[in-house]
Amino acid sequence: MIREMILVGQLAPERRVTQQELATAMGVSTMPVREALLKLTHDGLMTATPNRSYRVVRTTRDDIVDIYWMHATLAGELAARACAKADDDFLREMKGLLDKGRAAFETRDPKAMETVNWEFHRTINLAAQAPKLLLLLTTTLAFIPHGFYALIGEWAEVSDRDHARIVQTFIDRDPAGARQEAAAHVQQAGKLLIQHFSETGYWTVPPAPI
């Protein structure tokens, strides 16, 4: 939860927090908060400061570009490999997930759309049969917000369009096209996140404490 608060900007860059402050806000004990903060510090999203407090590390535009470039590269390769291995059962499953995603899109329920989106991409990633690449992809996911449908209003339309294009490359048995469409899908998400942060003042450096 703390990770997501950082990734969506709810915990602003440079903000200082304490274990007790976060535990109180989330209604939990300090122990899980402490463990989460230590993990976030290890991942470079927080730094420990004096007086047992922590500071949210500032994320730059270049950081987001780099994260989404890495994720797009891996997602594209996994999609290409899944396409090369695609059989009729896989195609039926992907068409079904596309229909399921469109049904969730009609409800405009962010949670439902997130669930189907996760299933859509997970099915592709597992079909690639490349566990080491999937492990690297999972690492990049630690730096990408999960609640994209709620955070970015236009993402639902973009996602529905892009998923249809990806599935079409599978139908066409076009691994190169699958790589291109899957990578472009991720890169578009990065662009929209940067735009969102620009509109909400995320990049503004807070004044130094007096």
- Ordered domains of the chain (ranges, CATH): 2-58 (1.10.10.10), 61-198 (1.20.120.530)
Q: What share of the chain is helix, strand, coil (3-state, %, to 5)?
A: 70, 5, 25
- Report the pLDDT value the prediction gives residue 206, as an integer from 0 to 100: 55
pTM, 2 dp: 0.88
- Report the pLDDT value the prediction gives residue 98, as an integer from 0 to 100: 95
- Report the pLDDT value the prediction gives residue 210, as an integer from 0 to 100: 43
Average confidence (pLDDT) per 10 residues, the chain, 210 residues:
87 88 89 90 89 88 95 98 97 96 90 93 97 95 87 91 97 98 96 91 62
Q: Are 95 and 146 in contact (CB under 8 A)?
A: no
φ/ψ of residue 48, rounded to 5: -75, 140
Structure tokens given for 172:
């066409």
- Report the pLDDT value the prediction gives residue 188, as an integer from 0 to 100: 95
- Report the pLDDT value the prediction gives residue 205, as an integer from 0 to 100: 59
